[in-house]
Chains A and B, each alone.
Chain A
Amino acid sequence: GQQLNQSPQSMFIQEGEDVSMNCTSSSIFNTWLWYKQEPGEGPVLLIALYKAGELTSNGRLTAQFGITRKDSFLNISASIPSDVGIYFCAGRQTGANNLFFGTGTRLTVIP
């Protein structure tokens, strides 16, 4: 299957700092999604991107669909303790049914 390379694998940051993580693929995707998963829960959709170059914000979160359609990034500004969790990117190819997920970025926010 497709490989989505997500980095970094983990981050330890101080409360108030900004966070940046990204996802790259060897193939073109027509949709990029960013999810957050907290312990014992299923992933929750944060942001969905549908067009190359699209930049979308959701509160302190901002995500972009790369121009090449092979990458996406997620930024979190002014992190707070409740941002802790695992962030997954996911992508979908044209004409395909399934989503491919990255391996996740585990975020720890130190108060």
Chain B
Amino acid sequence: GAGVSQSPSNKVTEKGKDVELRCDPISGHTALYWYRQRLGQGLEFLIYFQGNSAPDKSGLPSDRFSAERTGESVSTLTIQRTQQEDSAVYLCASSWRGWGETQYFGPGTRLLVL
């Protein structure tokens, strides 16, 4: 009966390397969201998946960021050629359907780019 899980919980990488962050949503939830939270800031929307519809990528900050979702399950957020400004907590959330529904958040992945 797990909630949203994310891995890894912490990631330290060197500038220029690629990283992959994983999110396992709550089983049965068709909607999945990625957010970025910089230190001392609120959450910044990145991307939204809803069922088999084309994802809403309007929040991705650059073409170095991409995300995929396999069916209605696992999602992977990939950051290529990481920069120091990418250091943040990356949060994933899922909901039963779409934006009007309550979003349940995972604990986040803390990314530090050196």
Which chain A residues have a beta carbon within 8 Å of chain B's beta carbons?
1, 4, 6, 31, 40-45, 48, 88, 90, 92, 97-104
Place the interface of chain B in its size category: 20 to 34
CA distance A92 to B95 in the complex (A): 16
**Are A103 and B42 interface neighbours, CB within 8 A?**
yes
Residues of A within 8 Å of B102, CB to CB, are 45, 48
**Are A92 and B93 interface neighbours, CB within 8 A?**
no
**Are A103 and B40 interface neighbours, CB within 8 A?**
yes
Contact of A44 among B41, B56, B105 (CB under 8 A): B105
**Are B107 and A45 interface neighbours, CB within 8 A?**
no
Minimum CB–CB distance from B20 to chain A (whole Å) comes to 19
Q: Which of B4, B42, B98, B102 has the most CB of A within 10 A?
A: B42
Question: What does DSSP make chain B's interface, helix, strand, loop or mixed?
Answer: loop
Which chain B residues have a beta carbon within 8 Å of chain A's beta carbons?
4, 35, 40-45, 48, 56, 58-59, 91, 93, 98-100, 102-103, 105-108
Residue of A nearest to B6 (CB): A42
Contact of B43 among A40, A43, A45 (CB under 8 A): A43
Residue of A nearest to B56 (CB): A97
**Are A98 and B58 interface neighbours, CB within 8 A?**
yes
**Are B59 and A42 interface neighbours, CB within 8 A?**
no
Residues of A within 8 Å of B99, CB to CB, are 92, 97-99
Residues of B within 8 Å of A31, CB to CB, are 100
Residues of A within 8 Å of B58, CB to CB, are 97-98
Q: A41-B108, A98-B59, A101-B42 are in contact. List 13 more A-B contacts (CB 8 A).
A: A40-B107, A42-B108, A43-B43, A44-B105, A45-B102, A92-B99, A97-B56, A98-B48, A98-B56, A98-B58, A98-B99, A101-B43, A104-B41
